[in-house]
Structure 1
Amino acid sequence: MARGKKSGLKIAIIGGGSSYTPEIVEGFILRYDRLPVRELWLVDIEAGRRKLEIVGELAKRMVAKSGLPIEVHLTLDRRQAIEGADFVSTQLRVGLLEARKWDERLPNLHGVIGQETTGPGGMMKAMRTIPVLLDIAKDIEELSPHAWLLNFTNPAGMVTEALNRYSGVRSIGLCNAPIGLQKWLSKKYDTPASRIFTEFVGLNHLHWVTRVEVDGVDRLPELLDKREEYSGKNVPATEWDPDFLRSLGGLPSYYLKYFYMRDAMLAEQLESLKSNGTRAEVVKRVEDELFELYADPGLQEKPKQLEQRGGAYYSEAAVNLMESLHNDLRDIQTINVRNGKTLDFLPEDAGIEVNCVITGQGPIALPVSRVPEQAKGLIAAVKTYERLTIEAAVTGDRDIALQAMVSHPLVPSVTVAKKLLGEMLEKNKPYLPAFHRS
């Protein structure tokens, strides 16, 4: 990364009008001595212009307060932002929160879990998103072939696998759940994160933590026995069954509640739908409040309310990853990468979420010490659905899309799958033209 070493880094954030942007700007300011950003380009589309201007002006005020020589550029010209970039980070939402609302609502109307990254909702989000990310990847290949593409756009695992399979860009997927767990453990045991080792096994939003060592002491049995858990703002806190958890062999991702506790989670969703609307509608209210705060010309820092969004800490994960790639730190981070031979029951080009050593040349997946036998079937089933969804997104083939929908463990029957697919494709007509050609 010679360019960055000499003159400072150019970083492009695609989806720069996101409510998360102040967090990543704060990260660049705090890490400036190790990650010398000279140009920060915040990119959005016409529909996001107003948010880009509000959050972009806040970013400029934050940088001005810091006194650092970081140039902040706001643009709707993606190619201008990407050209010569060292890092491109994607945090976009195709169809905005309105599309997410239907991802959640339509499955609920058929008695199925409605969630933006899991089940039928996650499938629609993936199919809207993958073609857009592959288009961005073409620009990167042409204008900045040595850049790293760090993808936080959900469903991060599927999107990253599609990038690795269908583009030549150096891409890595990341999620806020692993760093959130590290922070939770650090607080719980009053121990620096550097003294805690966790081993993740599985897929994005479908992982099991099979080792938790704090200062060299194995804490996993204790965590499983006490049912103490780290959860996200976007997943209801419903307790695990104690016998099930103790015998599971790994601390499950909170997203696994949708699979292991489907009845309770669906009941909570249907109740919430009546009282508060979908999660998308709740998030819309939080975002509206955030952007009111951001628009205050006196605000010069990231507001505390940002932590109410489900993706808190993602930007810290993104900045950690950039710093490690830039400086060849060779530390361990949990990210989404190509499987290779790490999980021998999945295809080599499958995307997985595991611990990796982060070098200047990219991540190296670490061997996993143990995969619980009882997790393998669910991992394989969801991976089948993911690969079919990726193929449907790339080809626009309804038959493949139907097979993807039927393959998902949360979809109860072919009848429900056909109804849902028809309704959801119709609702997504503006974003999925390939499925509506005669």
Structure 2
Amino acid sequence: MKLTILGGGGFRVPLVYGALLNDRAEGRVTEVVLQDLDDRRLYAVTRVLAEQAAGVPDAPTVTATTDLDEALHGADFVFSTIRVGGLAGRADDERVALEQGVLGQETVGAGGIAYGLRTVPVAVDIARRVARLAPDAWVINFTNPAGLVTEAMSRHLGDRVIGICDSPVGLGRRIARVLGADPGEAFVDYVGLNHLGWVRGLRVAGRDELPRLLADPALLGSFEEGRLFGTDWLQSLGAIPNEYLHYYYFNREAVRAYQEAEKTRGAFLREQQARFYEEACRTGVRALDVWDRTRAEREATYMAENRETAGAGEREADDLSGGYEKVALALMRAIARDERTTLILNVRNRGTLAALDADAVVEVPCLVDANGAHPFAVDPLPGHASGLVGAVKAVEREVLSAAGSGSRATAVKAFALHPLVDSVNVARRLVESYTSVHPGLAYLT
């Protein structure tokens, strides 16, 4: 089976390959093609993968190319992990937003809109090429903003594109762990959009254990979300929010923390990964050791500003191991081998949330089999959550419209309608600044 990874020079690709090395079952991936625009990044990552595969019998073969069409031909699965504009673009997204006094983050608020505006045209082109060159392939989208990009691609690939994120998985795992339950045996009632969802229940053997957690302040405050949001706020909500909702519920504190930080997350990662790629390309250096060391630092500093603002302390060791590659592999296995499983995924709504139309991509539990991902029926969201989901989905739709039409006015509207952008004039200045620093937004007129 052939797996093509777009953005194959990306830093997290070795996580995916490491998971593939542990898969010995029939029908496993035997061929991996890495596609990237940057030869140097491809060289560094292929070195890491070669060292991972050392001594592993029948390890999947790895080839690398900068030719997108060549990479797609004959693919059974396509992982889209592209980052349009690279980490330099992310750093600019964050900086421009903070200069206007609004949140600078790659998926939430102004930064997420800017990232989406320059990513959607590229993702749509990829979707069209997949439809033409590998019509039977399944596309698993890792590219952020994951829900928005998945929806853009679904307009050309239908249900054969599925978005994934490790945040809901990590949240469900932490809740199960603190309740003494086996995460593999628990059903997580999680509903929302990507980076905008809530756990409303955790059922073990048919019994919802979440009320027990919410009723116990000591237990509730013993894991990351309890420390991040505060036990009293979680009890008021009656649910456990995705960590990214900290940007909404504590926006003023988050913006201030980012403004006061020595450097933004994007700037930190840009410098860190520049060092990684430079060092990993050197002769005589063990690229895998360099990657392991860099990844440990990257994971430990994740959302550091938010945790500092909330006094949440350091991340727990169990949360430093990633997880999105495990979700991707489980999804791929379920489809390729018809191994039915339940995963939280980004898929078309199809009536799952009554407040949204059928084609809106939502993040919900799904039953996955050989025919793809099928969302479970869920209870409606409470009013406060439904209103926020509706507002953010409306912004996503304006982003898609602006990307399709090239309308600068529609781009301004997307920014202005976002709950974390507090003025139409700020929205206008954001569009002006983003178009001046991002060549990829030159299409907006």
Distance 1:25 1:139 in 2: 24
- Residue among 243, 250, 264 paired with 2:253: 264
| 3-state SS in 2 of match to 1:89 | strand
Is the counterpart of residue 328 in structure 1 residue 338 in structure 2?
A: yes
Change (3 A) 1:53 1:190: farther
Distance 1:185 1:283 in 2: 29
Farther off after superposition, 216-225 or 245-254: 216-225
2:315 corresponds to: none
Pairs within 5 Å for 1:190-205: 190-205=180-195
2:383 corresponds to: 373
Change (3 A) 1:14 1:109: same
Distance 2:177 2:99 in 1: 40
Amino acid at match of 2:347: V
Amino acid at match of 2:153: L
1:342 corresponds to: 352
Pairs within 5 Å for 1:385-424: 385-424=395-434
Is the counterpart of residue 90 in structure 1 residue 99 in structure 2?
A: no
Amino acid at match of 1:380: G
Tell me the CA shift for residue 28 of structure 1. Answer: 0.6
Change (3 A) 1:204 1:14: same
Query: Residue deviations 1:383-403, cap 9 Å, x none?
Result: 101111111112111111111
| 3-state SS in 2 of match to 1:363 | strand
Pairs within 5 Å for 1:221-370: 221-225=211-215, 226=217, 227-228=220-221, 239-272=228-261, 275=262, 277-288=263-274, 290-291=276-277, 294-295=280-281, 297-298=285-286, 303=292, 305-307=294-296, 308-309=298-299, 310=302, 312-370=322-380
Change (3 A) 1:192 1:220: closer
Tell me the CA shift for residue 67 of structure 1. Answer: 1.8
Consecutive unaligned residues of structure 1, counting only runs of 5 or more, are: 1-8
Amino acid at match of 1:65: G
Distance 1:139 1:132 in 2: 11
Tell me the CA shift for residue 305 of structure 1. Answer: 4.4
1:179 corresponds to: 169
- Residue among 98, 101, 104 paired with 1:114: 104
Distance 2:385 2:375 in 1: 19
How many residue pairs match? The answer is 418
Amino acid at match of 2:264: T
Amino acid at match of 2:443: A
Amino acid at match of 2:265: R
1:434 corresponds to: 443
1:3 corresponds to: none
- Contact 1:396–1:434 (8 Å) recurs in 2: yes
- Contact 2:44–2:287 (8 Å) recurs in 1: no
Change (3 A) 1:241 1:313: closer
Tell me the CA shift for residue 85 of structure 1. Answer: 0.3
Amino acid at match of 2:441: L
| 3-state SS in 2 of match to 1:335 | strand
- Contact 1:210–1:371 (8 Å) recurs in 2: no
Is the counterpart of residue 209 in structure 1 residue 213 in structure 2?
A: no
- Contact 1:325–1:359 (8 Å) recurs in 2: yes
Tell me the CA shift for residue 291 of structure 1. Answer: 3.8
Query: Residue deviations 1:216-267, cap 9 Å, x none?
Result: 55332344453447659xxxx9732443321213211111111111111112
Amino acid at match of 1:433: A
Distance 2:273 2:288 in 1: 18
Residue identity over aligned pairs, in percent, reads 35
Pairs within 5 Å for 1:114-193: 114-167=104-157, 170-193=160-183
Distance 1:242 1:188 in 2: 14
Change (3 A) 1:194 1:422: same
Distance 2:239 2:402 in 1: 32
2:314 corresponds to: none
Change (3 A) 1:35 1:306: farther
Farther off after superposition, 301-310 or 202-211: 301-310
| 3-state SS in 1 of match to 2:30 | strand
Distance 2:441 2:99 in 1: 22
- Contact 2:131–2:156 (8 Å) recurs in 1: no
Farther off after superposition, 179-188 or 143-152: 179-188
| 3-state SS in 1 of match to 2:444 | helix
Query: Normalised by the size of structure 2, how large is the TM-score?
Result: 0.88
Distance 2:415 2:165 in 1: 24
1:20 corresponds to: 12
Change (3 A) 1:228 1:39: same
Farther off after superposition, 12-21 or 368-377: 368-377
